[in-house]
Amino acid sequence: MHETTRSDGGRPRARWTREQAASIERRRGNVAPVAGAPETDPFPELHVWDTWLLRDRHGELADVDGYRLAFSLSAPADFLPGKRHDVAAIRCFYSSDGERWHDAGPVFDGGALGQRQWAGSALYDDGDLYLYYTAAGDESADEMTYTQRIAVAHGGQVSAGADGIELAGPWTHETLLTPDGDWYETEAQSRGMIYTFRDPWFFEDPATGDTHLLFEANAPAPERPGDDPETTYRREFNGCVGIATSPSGDPLSWELRPPLLDAVGVNQELERPHVVVADGRYYLFVCSHVHTFAPGVTGPDGLYGFVADALDGEYRPLNGSGLVATNPPAAPFQAYSWMAFAHDEEVLVQSFRNYYDFAGDSLDAIADLPEAEQRERFGGTLAPTLRLALEGDRTRLLGVLGAWRIPAPDEPLPPADGSVLPSGDALRGEIPEGGTVGGYAASVGGSGGALDGDGRDTRDGGETN
């Protein structure tokens, strides 16, 4: 039974339930092949992770004088991988063929909001550039802080010349959204292991023409009289997909709306929400970690998805459980931060190489390794692109393309080779129960006081990829 709850906005809010999540399992068709070490790394001097593409209002890959652009979180490669979030900055890469990429450098030369910048989205609208991002931390504070705001940079220009792509300011930076405390939990309200209000993603609904920002947040889930003390703690796992709407379509003017979907009692983090529209259906995708599932629920690091007949419809978990794609048991943390985009009859999914050479239950153990080994096991570059078929409420992987492969909509793909996908014994491997592994689960209660998936205290960075 699909469960919804009535929101303050008058429409039902879809909910991912524990009963639905109970059927999560690896199977042929949702497990990527072992990727191994990168054959080549086009930018070995950098850690590169969360990545998003420059798109137009219709969600199509934007073309800037024959180039496609990608924006990524980046940090110098001499930082320990687990510390990269503390110094994350947005960088631009460009390509004329979707295979060979070039570095256009950091996007902002000072002036960005936050002490560091986390993931977002990029809109190219009639020559105007809008870069949505997460402003993490208070830029006016002397010490590291953990506030998260949704921000935008506009006014800058992108141009193509003999030397490739150049982005130039000046940029105007604005805070667009902060949590309201009613639909979206504030940092002060947070009781859970991770506080989230981030990952803005621009979307114009093709059916209505309405303009939206999706984002990751937490739904306030206070204790209620008569709550069972044995299960109240589950309410601290309260991830949701938030949404804001621009009544005029102005990319700079937004009003909060009630969440599209929540996972109260199931999962704390529904990262980087985004939508692919296909055959009149709305496919809502998010990323999540093994350690952010609530106690009693098991799910691997993976891309999870839901489908509805309208953007604000009653979302059903894809494949019954929500799991769309995950890493193989032999390399359960090899990739993360999946982002899906339509290509002809398929959906392509790009991600980054995370700890590709580690098969433990929890990434907390990474911190116990010598620093050189931590670096050796971390990819810090884009992973092979996955090929995905959408079939109503079902999905299945078709094969893979190379790393850093981002084809334009009119570029044909080679025949898919499904023989590379794991099957049989390669699918077998126990998924640790949520809420029981990793430092997060060991220290639930104080906002920002738990270890994250890299074995760091979230007070030293607070993000989990």
Q: Does the structure show a pLDDT above 60 at 7?
A: no
pLDDT digits (tens, 9 = 90+) for 46-70: 999 999 999 999 999 999 999 999 9
Indicate which residue of 269, 271, 433, 452 is catalytic: 271
Indicate which residue of 50, 236, 269, 346 is catalytic: 50
Average pLDDT, the chain: 90
pLDDT at residue 219, as a whole number: 94
Q: Does the structure show a pLDDT above 60 at 3?
A: no
pLDDT at residue 13, as a whole number: 80
- Name every residue whose Cβ is closer than 8 Å to that of residue 58 and which is 6 or more positions away in sequence: 204, 206
* Nearest Cα residue to 448 out of 434, 465, 463, 433: 463
Average pLDDT of 366-385? 96
pLDDT at residue 450, as a whole number: 28
* Cα–Cα distance measured from residue 174 to residue 198, given in angstroms and rounded to the nearest whole number: 15
pLDDT at residue 156, as a whole number: 97
Q: In this structure, are residues 137 and 147 in contact, taking their beta carbons and an 8 Å threshold? A: yes
Average pLDDT of 24-51? 97
Pairing of strands 211-218, 198-204: antiparallel
Would you call 271 a catalytic residue per the annotation?
A: yes
Q: Does the structure show a pLDDT above 80 at 455?
A: no
What domains, with CATH codes, occur in the chain?
A: 13-409+419-458 (2.115.10.20)
Which H or E run contains 371?
helix 371-377
pLDDT at residue 109, as a whole number: 87
Confidence label for 443 from pLDDT (cuts 50, 70 and 90): very low
Q: Does the structure show a pLDDT above 90 at 134?
A: yes
Q: Does the structure show a pLDDT above 90 at 424?
A: no
Average pLDDT of 237-262? 97
Q: Does the structure show a pLDDT above 90 at 192?
A: no
Q: Does the structure show a pLDDT above 90 at 103?
A: yes
